[in-house]
Amino acid sequence: MRIAMIGTGYVGLVSGACFADFGHEVVCVDKDAGKIDRLKQGVMPIWEPGLEALVKSNVERGRLNFTTNLAEGVDGAEAVFIAVGTPARRGDGHADLTFVFDAVKELAHALKGPAVVVTKSTVPVGTGDRITELFKKEGAPAGTSVASNPEFLREGAAIADFKHPDRIVVGAEDESARQVLREIYRPLFLNKAPILFTGRRTAELTKYAANAFLAVKISFINEIANLCEAVDADVQEVARGIGLDNRIGPKFLHPGPGYGGSCFPKDTLALLQTANAAGVEQRIVKTVVEVNDERKATMHERVLHALGGDLKGKRVAVLGVAFKPNTDDMRDAPSIPLVKGLQDQGATVAAFDPAAMGHAKDLMPEVEFTNDAYAAAKDADALVVVTEWDEFRAIDLERIARTMKGNVLVDLRNVYDRAEAEEAGFDYSGLGRGRIGGNGAHLKLVKNGSDDVKVAR
Ligand code: UDX
């Protein structure tokens, strides 16, 4: 099968390389000539485990090629995937479809014969219909059809997710498109990955519903963690206790500093815009967006509290700035408002991240970036874990405690065992692991805590 992939961002590049690895002949197209040149030389534009080796081996086998020339890239392709960015539009949170429609217009004139054009980019319900109309208007070859095939790839685990998906969702309005996509995914199909064929609009909405539901799960456990701090319970045990119920499941029940990344924040906002336009309220998702925004904006207060209410002249070491481990992605990372909050309160911040410091430097002026976690912690009053990189789990707690001036450890990912941290000399606080600080001080951390909660104590 000959496939063209428009867009060599994280989704396009991973999908293109994986399709090539299935044995298809893939051409990845991007307008960015520098990026294409670097890809041809085997230099990856993103940090994703396993990607470089996968790209190189498929380029060597001649199955994966790169070009800036769209007409050349789509020549003879039976399927053309659109995997360009759909960022949140400034101001209203609508998905910005400029890149999608630009690609579609160009494609309409570049195609020499009919092809199945598939949106992999996350696009609002009805985008497939709009693309179909645009193809007609621009005079695309007769028989060109439009399908939706949303991706469910986690950054940092994207290749494994692509090759071992929980499911593949295909939204198509005609049998020929279904046939082409069935053929493309045949290797996974043979591996028993469920393929769900449905309507195009349904497939488009499925992507948003999946991400919104996962965001609900995370915000739910974050709020339960807040409650655990007020009533002296352990959220890890609560998560295990509820997660063993098959109806709930154990995943996405890890409390943290609020979800970030390229998908959840933008897709929840875009879903709200879709609902708004349809005149249908989505109160749960709306609340989740608020809960998460507030959580991110208040995480620095935990450090403030742990350091006795004053950050002036204090030095805080931040471990991890990427929005999650195994990526260099800083989009909507909770570290950004956290660091700003600390600095606004007068703290000096040092930070280390194994992959994201290059991107973080511009976003976090005045942060002193160091070469490792120990250097960041040197002379610090407090150590804050923001991203749960494996190498932080393996840190020598006694050694890092010795390099610090103070002994506060705020663990926003619950990576350490409290007893071990205390044994190493730390004054430890995690998320939702019993009372914080005693004396009811934790109540200050629970925003919107009603009077009833205080009385109940
Ligand atoms: C997500 C979806 O998982 C993926 O299916 C979709 O296609 C793209 O968006 P990604 O953003 O790469 O993937 O990361 P994910 O692992 O889902 O984490 C998203 C955010 O939620 C991160 O900030 C992470 O730290 C946070 N999170 C996740 C939690 O706080 N707790 C959890 O239990 C899980």
> Where do the domains of the chain lie?
2-198, 208-294, 299-430
Closest ligand 1 atom number to CA of residue 327: 12
pLDDT value at residue 275: 97
- Residue ranges of the chain with per-residue pLDDT less than 50: 438-457
262 Cα–ligand 1 center, Å: 9
pLDDT value at residue 436: 65
pLDDT value at residue 439: 38
pLDDT value at residue 74: 98
pLDDT value at residue 116: 98
Provide long-range contacts, Cβ within 8 A and 24+ apart, for 433-441: 433/228, 433/229, 433/234, 433/235, 433/236, 434/228, 434/229, 434/232, 434/233, 434/234, 435/229, 435/230, 435/232, 436/229, 436/302, 436/305, 437/305, 437/306, 441/305
259 Cα–ligand 1 center, Å: 7
267 Cα–ligand 1 center, Å: 12
**Nearest protein CA to atom 13 of ligand 1, as residue:** 154
The CATH code that applies to domain 299-430 is: 3.40.50.720
324 Cα–ligand 1 center, Å: 8
Q: Diameter of the chain by CA atoms?
A: 73
Domains 2-198 and 299-430 share a fold: yes
**Nearest protein CA to atom 26 of ligand 1, as residue:** 259
Does ligand 1 have an atom closer than 6 angstroms to the CB of 261? Answer: yes
Does ligand 1 have an atom closer than 6 angstroms to the CB of 263? Answer: yes
* pTM assigned to the model: 0.93
What topology does CATH give the domain 208-294? N-(1-d-carboxylethyl)-l-norvaline Dehydrogenase; domain 2 (1.10.1040)
- CATH architecture classification, 2-198: 3-Layer(aba) Sandwich (3.40)
Helix (H, G, I), strand (E, B) or coil at 409: strand
Residue with tokens 């392709």: 77
51, 218, 266, 299: residue to mutate for ligand 1 pocket, most atoms within 8 A of CB? 218
